[in-house]
């Protein structure tokens, strides 16, 4: 009887929406940002992101693209703008119902719908034009996979940094915004 009760409790807990969320802390030289990941709505994006977290890929990368009143983007370049090696691209989950609202984190990609690898961005404001509208390359959108739950003031501070063109890249912060590490945490 105790085994059955324990199994029922365990199956209930695993099915509970609380288990669909995971947390990470993005430690930067500007401060820490805690992000809640939604693996219920964006399982492939979250699994991909966490695989890079677990491999320490994000350590000593930078937020290399900062556009005031739009977003901050990072996840693949070092301070000298050298790219890190990426894994294969993943399927775009932009049709998951999550919207590109202020404080959400989404997968960055090229003009190819299914091209996201390690790069991500955090929205500085509601960016509805990035949401999924249709299955065309122009309307597919950018897959949101979580949201900032602590440290939005850090995101805003990063979003206000002065930028310039560095090498061939535009919108690069003049003073590097370093991602020291990204680590899993149990809760916010």
* The pLDDT value given to residue 132: 98
Residue 78 tokens read as 């070092």
Residue 9 tokens read as 């409790």
* The pLDDT value given to residue 15: 44
Express each pLDDT in 102-126 by its tens digit. 999 999 999 999 999 999 999 999 9
Residue extents of the structural domains in the chain: 20-185
* The pLDDT value given to residue 187: 75
In this structure, of 10-14, 110-114, 132-136, 152-156, the range with the lowest mean pLDDT score is: 10-14
At the second CATH level, the architecture of 20-185 is Beta Barrel (2.40)
Mean pLDDT rounded to a whole number for the chain: 91
pTM: 0.89
Tell me the CB-side half-sphere exposure of residue 73, using CA atoms within 13 A.
23
- Residue 165 above 70 pLDDT? yes
Distances (CA, A) of 129 to 58, 101, 134: 27, 10, 12
């Amino acid at each position: 009887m105790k085994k059955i009760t324990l199994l029922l409790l365990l199956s209930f807990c695993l099915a509970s929406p609380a288990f669909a969320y995971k947390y990470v802390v993005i430690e930067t030289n500007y401060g820490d940002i805690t992000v809640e990941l939604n693996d219920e709505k964006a399982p492939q994006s979250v699994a991909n992101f966490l695989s890079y977290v677990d491999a320490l890929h994000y350590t000593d990368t930078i937020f290399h693209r900062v556009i005031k009143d739009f977003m901050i983007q990072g996840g693949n370049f070092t301070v000298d703008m050298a790219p890190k090696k990426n894994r294969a691209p993943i399927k775009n989950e932009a049709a998951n119902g999550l919207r590109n609202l202020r404080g959400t984190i989404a997968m960055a990609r090229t003009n190819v719908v299914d091209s996201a690898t390690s790069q991500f961005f955090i929205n500085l404001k509601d960016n509805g034009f990035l949401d999924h509208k249709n299955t065309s390359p122009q309307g597919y959108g950018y897959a949101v996979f979580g949201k900032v739950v602590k440290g939005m003031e850090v995101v805003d501070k990063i979003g206000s940094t002065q930028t310039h063109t560095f090498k061939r890249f535009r919108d690069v912060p003049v003073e590097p915004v370093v991602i020291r590490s990204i680590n899993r945490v149990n809760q916010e």
